[in-house]
């Protein structure tokens, strides 16, 4: 025991440049998404512009074949992508973490059954799942896409949670907690969840990016939000027919999706360090 340690400076967070860049890129998207709630350059359904115009000062990303402003639609696409990411990861996390922790505690037989269920759901084509959800809810909407992606994600989250929780449950401090009379639910809340949380958070961030891409695919196929509040996938699909004469219609939404996913992946990378107290306190 030395007193030298007392004099060391207050711990500071170690934040990597990837975290900052990632957070900035995601932040820009989030700011744009919020902005669309109160203001867009044009009314998204207004066809006032000329058809298939190239980018100009009036229309920053040009116009589509109906004369609608593309920049406005891409901004709304930001909102939709974030809605899908938050919604799908939220549903996936709620179902996945709950069932994953239960599986870690379950008897051998139930645990095996749940593990098999996760594997089957992961193998199940997300596209087919989305079609089933659309069929069940009569119409393709943003919510059917979110629900389908959330269910698909829950299997991935569940499988990860189960493995992580099992590993934590084998640690000595769990036995130590039990010898002093800590109940199982309390152990889950104070020991298991905090110890698996950093890894889960990184995974959630990565799933967020995957959900945004998956939603673009679903929308491209007509299984997502219908126009005029269309997602980037729908914009890509609409631009497909005119890609040779007006390539901006496809490039612009593609670029927006690319920036968002890169931002999220960098953010996830930085999140790993933030969740680790040994790194959190080192300078």
Partner 1 sequence: MSLLAVNNLGIATGGQDLVADLSFAIEPGQRLGLIGESGSGKSLTAMAITGLLPPAIVPRGSVTLDGVEVIGAPERKLNQLRGAASAVVFQEPLTALDPLMKLGNQLAEPLHRRFRREGRDLANIDAEIIALLERVSLPQPQRIANAYPYEVSGGQRQRVAIAMALACRPKLLIADEPTTALDVTTQAEILALLDSLVRDLGMALLFISHDLPVVSTIVDQVLVLRQGRMVETGPVKTVLGAPQHQYTQSLVAAARAFDSALGAS
What is the contact surface with partner 1 in residues (CB under 8 A)?
1, 3, 5-6, 171-173, 175-184, 186, 190-191, 194-195, 277-278, 281
Q: What is the CA radius of gyration of the chain?
A: 23
| 94 vs 171, beta carbon nearer partner 1 | 171
Dihedral-angle region of residue 39 (phi above 0 means left; psi in -120 to 50 means alpha; beta otherwise): beta
Min separation Cβ 94 and partner 1, Å: 22
Q: How far is the CB of 278 from partner 1 (least distance, A)?
A: 6
Q: Please, are residues 159 and 122 in contact by the beta-carbon 8 Å criterion?
A: yes
Nearer to partner 1, 5 or 138 (CB): 5
Nearest distance in Å: CB 9, partner 1: 14
Q: Which is nearer to partner 1, 179 or 245 (CB)?
A: 179
As measured in angstroms, the least distance from the Cβ of 8 to partner 1 is: 10
Residue 36, number of CB atoms within 10 A of its CB: 19
Contact 165, 97 (CB under 8 A): no
Q: Which is nearer to partner 1, 51 or 178 (CB)?
A: 178
Closest CA to 216 of 267, 259, 253, 265: 253
Contact call for residues 212 and 33 (beta carbons, < 8 A): no
């Amino acid at each position: 025991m030395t007193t030298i340690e007392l004099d060391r400076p207050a711990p500071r967070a170690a934040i990597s440049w990837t975290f900052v860049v990632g957070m900035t890129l995601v932040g820009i998207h989030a700011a744009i998404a919020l902005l669309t709630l109160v203001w867009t350059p044009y009314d998204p359904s207004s066809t006032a512009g000329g058809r298939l115009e190239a980018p100009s000062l009036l229309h920053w990303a040009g116009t589509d074949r109906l004369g609608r402003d593309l920049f406005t639609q891409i901004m709304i696409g930001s909102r939709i992508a974030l809605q899908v990411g938050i919604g799908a990861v939220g549903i996936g996390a709620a179902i996945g973490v709950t069932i994953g922790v239960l599986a870690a505690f379950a008897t051998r037989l139930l645990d095996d059954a749940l593990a098999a269920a996760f594997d089957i759901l992961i193998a199940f084509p997300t596209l087919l799942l989305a079609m089933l959800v659309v069929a069940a809810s009569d119409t393709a909407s943003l919510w059917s896409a979110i629900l389908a992606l959330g269910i698909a994600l829950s299997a991935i989250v569940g499988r990860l949670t189960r493995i992580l929780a099992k590993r934590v449950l084998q640690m000595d401090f769990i036995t130590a907690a039990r010898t002093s009379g800590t109940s199982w639910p309390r152990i889950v809340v104070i020991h298991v969840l905090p110890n698996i949380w950093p890894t889960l958070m990184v995974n959630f961030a990565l799933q967020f990016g995957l959900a945004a891409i998956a939603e673009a695919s679903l929308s491209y196929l007509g299984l997502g939000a219908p126009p005029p509040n269309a997602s980037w996938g729908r914009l890509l699909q609409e631009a497909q027919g005119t890609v040779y004469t007006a390539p901006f219609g496809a490039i612009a939404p593609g670029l927006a999706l690319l920036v968002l996913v890169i931002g999220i992946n960098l953010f996830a990378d930085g999140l790993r360090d933030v969740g680790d107290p040994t790194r959190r306190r080192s300078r």
